[in-house]
Amino acid sequence: MAIKMRILYASGKKKINNIANAIKAQYDLAFNSVDVIPPAYSCDKERIVILAISAKGDIGDTLRLFCRELTKARAQNVALMIDGDEAVANSLKAILTEAGTNVIDEVLYVKGGMPIFGGAVKPEEKEQIFAWVDRVIKNLK
């Protein structure tokens, strides 16, 4: 199943990058489908953009500005994977909704681990993440 999907992340944690690349491999996405925020290639008519964010409390200006520009023309649907708390997810949902894109209701909360060490994604974590991505894809508008 080929789908126009991108995974963009704002995190200094190796595990978040590894999760993004695991999704890319699992869903056989294009070579430039994983990138940092702001991405080198801007979003254009993406069916789904998954934002993998590490943040506690306040979200940074770069992330806030990027999300404000994620209009429906750039990304029809946005799903959030958060290494942080519900306040971060709610702030991002509000910004993205205001930009006009469809925000997927179900937010996936992940543990990003320590910034420097490891970064390995356990098989059961991958299973949970892929199941979430499958649900997101199934419920796209």
Tokens of 130: 């892929």
Instruction: State how far the alpha carbon of 1 is from the alpha carbons of 28, 51, 100, in Å.
Output: 9, 21, 27
Cis peptide before 38 (omega within 30 of 0): yes
Helices assigned H by DSSP within 3-122? 14-26, 61-68, 86-99
- CA angle, 133 then 131 then 123, to 5°: 115
Supply the pTM of this predicted model. Answer: 0.94
Nearby residues of 116 by Cβ (< 8 Å), 6 or more positions away: 14
pLDDT in tens, the chain (141 residues): 568 899 999 999 999 999 999 999 999 998 889 999 999 988 999 999 999 999 987 888 999 999 999 999 999 999 999 999 999 999 999 999 999 999 999 999 998 877 666 788 999 999 999 999 999 999 887
